[in-house]
Amino acid sequence: MKDAMTHTTSLRRSIRKQLLLTCMAVLGFHSGVALADEPSSPASVSISVSEAGTTTPLPSRVHLIDSAGKPVKPEGYPFWHDHFVCDGAARVKLPAGEYRYEIERGPEYSAAKKPLVVKAGEALSVTETLCRIVDLSREGWWSGETHIHRPEGEIPFLMRAEDLHVGVAITWWNDRNAWKGKAPPQQPIIRFDTNRFLDMLGGEDERGGGALLFTHLREPLPIAASKRESPSSARWLAEAKAAGAWVDAEKPFWWDFPLWLASGKLDSIGIANNHMNRSRMLDNEAWGRPRDRERLAGPHGNGLWTQELYYHALNCGFRLPPSAGSASGVLPNPVGYNRVYAHLDGDLTWDKWWEAIRAGRVFVTNGPLMRVKANDRWSGHVFQSEGLIEIPLDGKVDSREPVAAVELVRNGRIDTIRLPARIKIEESGWFLIRAVADVPHTFRFASTGPWYVEIAGQPTRVSRASCEFFLRWTDDRIENLRKAPMSDEERRDVLADHDKSRQFWTDRLSKANPD
């Protein structure tokens, strides 16, 4: 009997213990230890973005970052590097935790930046309103960029979210051709939303001498078999021009930049380029001509070097407009981070936009929005005078971030100014206006295209120092090519183009003006 009672008591204790453990498990405990590792149900976060004064969803870019600094990549939305794009409404599943978000839509809108605390299992709504800083299309300014590497089917959506009106999709280059094995589109220019345009046949030659960007072509160039240095980039430049292409020097610090200038076949120069990123600056010149890192130090160094090289080209008598590209899909940028605005009268068309670029009625930017006139004329205008000329400058600079300085760049010399201003010019040359934002981690700026001045009785400005600069550069490039691995026949062909370039710079130097 006693044994039976003992057995019954033990059984009761076992049952009570099992019940206690079951209750503790339901409450999230096991053997007195919290189950911190067990997953909790995620929160459902709805994000809604609209423009001030409306309730219509506004296509936008969202940077959603967790407490470890890692970007959230939600399913169902185009994502790149640290951001995704939505049509103004998104639903995201998030584990409990602390987050922060930034919502943007190109530089013409305000940005929304806030922390976000998410609890397990909750349904949370985030509603943000973006205000227009300025509507540049109403002023006749239309934005575009020349260097997009995102999936072709996503690009119209991405342009919409960035309020970008003209784009060039790079669908073929040295090691990729999206049209291989199939016919390229008969109509490569896509028009959508009535006033947005996309070239689906943009291309790139990126090799030892640097990168050239091509648009306005009907089919890709056969560059896939090209080696690092052979054939010369001058060959594809010539073939592209013969086929009616617009050719952009993607960056001016590429080693073949003097060769491209000497050819006379460039249409524009990328001074707002993909070394300039939203989150950081690439603090190098990749495999291009390196800058003096003591003189041009820090995150702004490469950006200032890029501008200097453009100014050298202008000083040598070239009248080429600046351009912009972001390389989204290769570099961390969103589409349209670096962009060029062209001013035109009337409705936007593909042809009119490029005509305005060629005429120099442009500004490039990755931040400030700068519209400046000189004597009521947009950039690209040529002032002609019998003698000293006085030119009034006036305009606007709008920016989400403080602008550290507005600068007058005249024949390469830089002075800080305040708008409106008046300048006196007594020698032939050029000038432009630049604004640099107060952002330490990257080079955020805007630049107009140049205006030109021709004083009667004076020759066109051709700087001796700038010609010598490009001649030395050409000699360095030739010396490097003599050592580059290639066959003797390939070397002869490549050096022949650079020898022509050297002769060009020698001739131009002989006709240059003293500085």
Q: Which of 367, 393, 426 is the last residue of a domain?
A: 367
Count of domains for the chain: 3
Strands 166-173, 141-148: pairing is parallel
Tokens coding 445: 């700026």
Tell whether 125 and 142 lie within a shared domain: no
Query: CA 139 to CA 142: how far, in whole Å?
Result: 9
Rounded to whole angstroms, the Cα distance separating 250 from 258 reads 13
Whether 217 and 363 map to the same domain: the answer is yes
Q: What is the crossing angle of helices 301-315 and 464-483, to 10°?
A: 110
Tokens 């594809």 belong to 236
Could you tell me the residue range of the domain that residue 468 belongs to? 464-510
Which backbone phi and psi does 448 adopt, to 5 degrees?
-70, 165
Say if residue 86 is in the same domain as residue 231. no
Query: Based on the domain organization, do 225 and 275 belong to the same domain?
Result: yes
**Residues in CB range of 320: below 8 A, 6 or more apart:** 266, 267, 268, 269, 313, 314
pTM of the full structure = 0.91
Q: Please work out, in degrees rounded to the nearest 5, the angle formed at the alpha carbon of residue 493 by the alpha carbons of 487 and 496.
A: 135
Residue 39: predicted pLDDT: 57
Residue 151 lies in a domain: yes
CATH number at residue 87: 2.60.40.10
Please name the residues in contact with 69: beta carbons below 8 A apart, sequence gap of 6 or more: none
Residues 113 and 144 in one domain: no
Q: Is residue 448 part of a domain?
A: no
Q: Are residues 167 and 302 in the same domain?
A: yes
- Whether residues 126 and 184 share a domain: the answer is no
Given a cut of 70, the residues of the chain with pLDDT beneath it are 1-39
Continuous H helices in 135-256: 155-162, 233-242
Q: Are residues 231 and 321 in the same domain?
A: yes
Examine residue 506 and state whether it is found in any structural domain, yes or no: yes
Residues 241-278 have pLDDT tens digits of 999 999 999 999 999 999 999 999 999 999 999 999 99
Residues 197 and 74 grouped into a single domain: no
Distance of alpha carbon 42 from alpha carbon 91, whole angstroms: 12
Last residue of a domain, one of 77, 98, 130: 130
Which of 130, 154, 173 terminates a domain? The answer is 130
| Chain centre distance of CA 104 | 15
Angle between helices 233-242 and 488-510 (to 10 degrees): 70
Q: Is residue 457 one of the residues assigned to a domain? A: no
DSSP 358-389: HHT-EEEESS-EEEEEETTB-TT-EEEESS-E
**Residue 104: inside a domain, yes or no?**
yes
Looking at the structure, tell me whether residues 93 and 146 fall in a common domain: no
Amino acid symbol at 375: N
pLDDT in tens, 1-27: 334 333 334 434 443 444 333 333 333
HEC readout, 43-84:
EEEEEEEEECCCCCECCEEEEEEECCCCECCCCCCCEECCEE
The answer to whether 130 touches 162, Cβ cutoff 8 Å, is: no
Residue 304 resides in a domain: yes
Q: Are residues 326 and 201 in the same domain?
A: yes
Q: Specify the long-range contacts of residues 154-157, CB closer than 8 Å, at least 24 apart.
A: 154/78, 155/198, 155/335, 156/190, 156/192, 156/193, 156/196, 156/198, 157/59, 157/78, 157/85, 157/87
Q: Distance from CA of residue 408 to its chain's centroid? A: 24
Q: Are residues 141 and 120 in the same domain?
A: no
Write down the pLDDT at residue 373.
98
Query: What CATH code is carried by the domain that includes residue 281?
Result: 3.20.20.140
Strands 60-66 and 83-86, by their bridges, are: antiparallel
